[in-house]
Structure 1
Amino acid sequence: MTLVAHLVKSSTMEKNKIGKFQTLLVYLLCLLIFLIIILETILGMLPPTARDVLIHHLAIPKLWLTNGGFYEVKWADFSYYPMNVDLLYLIPLYFNQDFIANFIHLGFGIGTGWLIYCYLKNNVNRLAGILGVFVFLSTPIVVRMSTVAYVDLGLTFFTTAATLAIIRWRNESYENSRWLIISAVAMGLALGTKYNALIAWLFLSFSVVYLYSRDTGRQWPAIRCGAIFFLVSLLVFSPWLIKNSILTGNPLYPLFKGFFPASMSGVANDAGARSMVSGDAYMGLFQMREILYGENFWETLLTPLRFFFQGQDYSDRYFDGVLNPMLIILVPFAFMNKFLRDQKLFFVLFAVFFILAAFFLDQLRIRYILPAIPILTLLTVMGIMNLFAWAARQKGLFSYLGLSALFLLLLILGGRNIVYLHKYFQSLEPVKYVLKQETRDAYLQRHIRSYTAMRYINEHTPENSRIRLLFLAGRGYYLDRIYEDDATYGMDIMRGLAASAGDKDTFHKYLESLKCTHLLIREDLSVQFLRDNYPPETITRLFQHLGRGTELIHRSNGYGVYRIIPSG
């Protein structure tokens, strides 16, 4: 009896030690999560400077406000994208508090972390849930997206909610249809956020039919459930489809151009939208990357794996984003036991399908596969928990070595995220601005070279001025005037100016045809474009006519503001 009591006491003490250790880990992870959110909050207080924010996500809503309401921005293909999350940004823009849009996007990231926590807590334990939140929120691409007013975290939140709601519906033996409806509504909101959600919509629509049919053996009810999911999602998505149908004749414009007849005039023909669904592809993905970057067939084919190892911020070649290799290295260990095996297989299929489908988009960006990251996070955390359980079951020295090796691996992989956060924080230099030691204008002048010229336009031109951008890549957010660009970002305009340079009257008529009062030109790129495409005499005539037909009223940091002189 004494021996039995001793064994029971030893077992209880061991469990208490494990319990205390897990509690310590929970507190440590909570502290790290809190610090991450604090740092992201500091970065979120900065004025918007991210590229797509200046071109699209805040720029188009601001143009609506500047115009006094919705109007069609024909020169921008991306203005026809669904804009559920962008509509939320109208609120801070209306009150001239644009930085709040950063916090709206951060909120979607935190919301996705909450979904991850709920799933892992309910299916594994609280430690796994907290670990899942940390893994997701500290992933470099999530850190970066959490500090800018993009829409990708909104898409990720809605897609994750739709996926996990289907799992919940299945776990309750398909009896509670509420979860199917919740999933469909979330999917519809995802579709209304970004076209990438079409990938998840296709996968989940077929999954509803397949899972119900396989689990119950009833095919017609399975088809009915699939139809409900599809149609409810479509209904939520439909306002954007109707808008595009009215404006362009194509509900999914600018996708599927080859399937829908053009019914509009003056809409930009974006030659850059060369995806598999755009209808105007010019070269294949493999050929394009070979020409641009010298990549061979196998390098390009392995891109879905390279996402996790070679990503770099602001690099088109390396996918403009950073992931952590742990999100793919540790996934196989989720299958060390049969617990939740069907759900794990479902998650793997979803992630693989989404990543491979996104791989065939014309521009390879890590943020385009962001909806797969929460799913990979779930699998990664389950793999980590399985490895810990396996190491703990070993005896003596083997258990100690196994746990030590696992801790070292996680420290190295997790440390990458912390190092990235530190470097990213330093790159934005937020401290002076947040402490009010630097003005908003001074901060923007340091980070956006064209800002000084735009500020001049805002302060020294009539309110009814119309600005034409040349070689600014559409970055017009900080203009408080109506402005226009085109799909070639000014190259077509420069070609038109060069073609009209033979005659003064023809040149001036072309200037007037632009229907603008001022030109804002990035001068180094415009000169480079002309030198690469035209002989010196054509360039000389162009600048002579430009000097007569316009007045240079401001120049700073390589950007010139030209007032078009009215004829007569």
Structure 2
Amino acid sequence: MTLDVVLRMALPALWLSIWTLGCIGAGWPLVSTLLKKNNGARTPLVLVVATGAAVLALIGAVLALAHLLYRPLLIGLLTISVLAGLFVLARFWVKIEFLPEGLVSPLGGILMIPVGATLLLLSTPPVMYDVLHYHLAFPEQWLMAGGFVEFARESFSYYFSAHGILFTFALSTVGPWGASAISWWMAGVGIIAASTLGNRLGGPGVAPWAAACYALTPATLETIGYANADHAVAAWAGAALVALTHDVDTVPTARLMFLVGLLGGTAAGSKYLAIATVLIPLAAAAVLTVRAFESGRRVRAAVLLMALLAGTAVPLAPWVARNVAWTGNPVYPYLIEVFGGSHNSMSLDREIEGNVDLPYSRAGAVAASAGAVVRRTFLPRYEGGLLGLHWLILLPIAAVVTGLRPRLRGPLWAVTLVGFLSWGFLVQYVRFLLPILVPAAALAGAVPAAFGRKVSRLTLGAFAALLFSVYTWNASVLLSNLNIDRLATVAGFLNERDFRVRWIDVAPATDFISDSLSSDARVLMVAEARSFGIERQVIVEDPYRTPLLVEMAEAANSVEDMSQSLQKLGVTHILVNEREIQRMARIRHVHDYWTPASDQSRNLIRSFLETRVTRIFESEHLWVGEIVVPRAGPVEAEPVNN
């Protein structure tokens, strides 16, 4: 094994150690202040680091809003946070619960082997489509521009992205693989949060099983190294529940509820869908926890719920302000009929109709949503991940397990059931269910622990064998061709460039652009949405929109008109991915990519590409062309978002 291979395997652990210290430094002042008078118990490290990540995401979002999101500033902020983290560990380590009791055990170690193995793969380049499309692509553009960038033709650019702000720290320091490592770290936060909740619910014996229920869900393992939003949402949602259940034997303080809201709001600040899968279930659990309608406590309960709402609003404020400034709609591109904003092809109804087969009647829809977990266990949505059979085995039994803390059991079931129902009404991708699986794992983990106390050794052995068989089958999702190639790349058997070309079909073109074009080039992406790695200004369109060239051709009378239109946008080059053309058409549910262009417009586009674009790079289905525009005089380019 060469030194290079050893370093590649060790780098993720080193980077995550630095990142953890930074999150400790950023999170401890807030957590210690808000929990100071709650009780004398040690503060879970998982709560500190999740809060620290939320603080860094909030600061970064404010910097982006003010157009101060620069690499040196982010590096300085992370450095200060790391130094603060070292101080916290040196001064307050006795006040911190590093891991829940019971997780560090032979059983816990065995169950966590698959998760640990994925750490070795993190130094490979990201390849997931959505990561290259927007999860990393937009943070890269933010860093280039020093703040948020609006792409009026790319609806995904309006999405909330607290996790994307965290990725800018990685892009400013170690590079894109660091963002993948942060996502892995977020998965770890979710696992430890599930274990912490399990420990509080049923004792140390529940902790490793709760961790395993969440960690060994196939969807968790499939996406654990992808730099997307799913694990960040689950981590912050789980941490919010850890905060909410910090001391369930007493009515929580307003400061604690503010912290719960801050974490839940940050989860929603990473994904619109988390408004339904995190905030609504969390509100249900909060109402149960504060005993909102008990006699003599209504005013206090109202104050606590207002504190929860205030905490939720803080991390959402920069994203809402950005979207309102751009479109007037805080949740654009959705709910245009309510909040306004320019028309676009994306809508909540369309996404639900495209992903969920719900009956037309309200009662039928509720029933179908309630049974969605069972259905998606056996009929998962494409690219949504797998759920695993262990949930259907354990959760029904968990409903009748005795000996659990009742004041904790109620809120956890409320979050789980309300979350399942909310998810069932919406896009039923299993990976979108991850934030609900954190509390569900605590409940499910209580089952094997209870079996150990109440059944014979033979029955316990048979049950354990069944669970280990299911978990082994779940973990087999790691044996994918992609992960085999990732391991080969880390081990030096596969060249990193060859790995990228094999798994990212647009990589040769993006590499050419980043290596060969001048820094002031502006590239129009045609039939291609993955702009990450180009490191140039781009005009990118989401796959649901009529292509810009079609709209220009419909409005033009000649090739010269099209050339002038692109010149006004400052476009200097075009990237075309011919392999993606038909897939893009299928996404829009049209016959071909150029629909609805007329025959005249199609001829105009063809003539423009043949006479006004000089191909400077070609590779199978890809080509990059330079636009040749006769200039009568200098024309000032319009902003990139037009």
Normalised by the length of structure 2, the TM-score is: 0.73
Q: CA deviation at 1:544?
A: 3.2
Tell me the residue number matched to 2:606.
543
Which one of 111, 133, 150 corresponds to residue 55 of structure 1? 133
Tell me the residue number matched to 2:74.
none
Residues 83, 490 of structure 1: CA spacing in aligned structure 2 closer, same or farther, 3 A cutoff? closer
Tell me the residue number matched to 1:173.
250
Q: CA deviation at 1:448?
A: 0.7
Residues 135, 243 of structure 1: CA spacing in aligned structure 2 closer, same or farther, 3 A cutoff? same
Distance 1:536 1:256 in 2: 35
Tell me the residue number matched to 1:495.
550
1:412-561 maps to which residues of 2 (within 5 A)?
412-421=469-478, 423-424=479-480, 427-472=483-528, 474-488=529-543, 491-496=546-551, 499=554, 503-512=558-567, 514-526=569-581, 529=592, 539=602, 542-561=605-624
Does residue 310 (structure 1) correspond to residue 354 (structure 2)? The answer is no
Distance 2:453 2:108 in 1: 19
Tell me the residue number matched to 1:223.
302
Q: Which moved more, 1:176-185 or 1:382-391?
A: 176-185
Larger radius of gyration: 1
Aligned residues: 515
Tell me the residue number matched to 1:347.
412
Q: CA deviation at 1:352?
A: 2.3
Residues 57, 173 of structure 1: CA spacing in aligned structure 2 closer, same or farther, 3 A cutoff? same
Does residue 565 (structure 1) correspond to residue 631 (structure 2)? The answer is no
Q: CA deviation at 1:177?
A: 4.9
Deviations 1:500-536 (A, max 9, x none): 6874434434444553111111124447826876788
Which one of 344, 353, 367 corresponds to residue 285 of structure 1? 353
Contact 2:195 2:207 in 1 (8 A): yes
Distance 1:403 1:243 in 2: 55
Distance 1:514 1:308 in 2: 48
- Structure 2 unpaired stretches of 5+: 1-101, 583-590, 632-642
- Structure 1 unpaired stretches of 5+: 1-22, 276-280, 312-316, 393-398
Q: CA deviation at 1:108?
A: 1.4
Q: Which moved more, 1:201-210 or 1:434-443?
A: 201-210
Normalised by the length of structure 1, the TM-score is: 0.81
Structure 1: which amino acid aligns with 2:536? Answer: R
Deviations 1:130-183 (A, max 9, x none): 2222222222111122211112212111111212322334x2321655533332
Contact 1:470 1:490 in 2 (8 A): no
Tell me the residue number matched to 2:449.
385
Identity of aligned pairs, percent?
Answer: 19
Q: CA deviation at 1:87?
A: 1.0
Q: CA deviation at 1:49?
A: 0.6
* SS, match of residue 235 in structure 1: helix
Q: CA deviation at 1:441?
A: 1.8
Distance 1:38 1:146 in 2: 11
Tell me the residue number matched to 1:357.
422
Q: CA deviation at 1:68?
A: 4.2
Tell me the residue number matched to 1:189.
266
Structure 2: which amino acid aligns with 1:271? Answer: S
Contact 1:518 1:564 in 2 (8 A): yes
Which one of 392, 397, 404 corresponds to residue 333 of structure 1? 397
RMSD of the alignment, in Å?
3.2
1:1-150 maps to which residues of 2 (within 5 A)?
26-33=105-112, 35-95=113-173, 97-150=175-228
Deviations 1:387-424 (A, max 9, x none): 333323xxxxxx52x22431232133212222222x23
1:192-207 maps to which residues of 2 (within 5 A)?
192-199=269-276, 200-207=278-285
Structure 2: which amino acid aligns with 1:81? Answer: Y
Q: CA deviation at 1:537?
A: 8.0
Contact 2:485 2:494 in 1 (8 A): no
Tell me the residue number matched to 2:9.
none
Residues 129, 425 of structure 1: CA spacing in aligned structure 2 closer, same or farther, 3 A cutoff? farther
Distance 2:481 2:210 in 1: 23
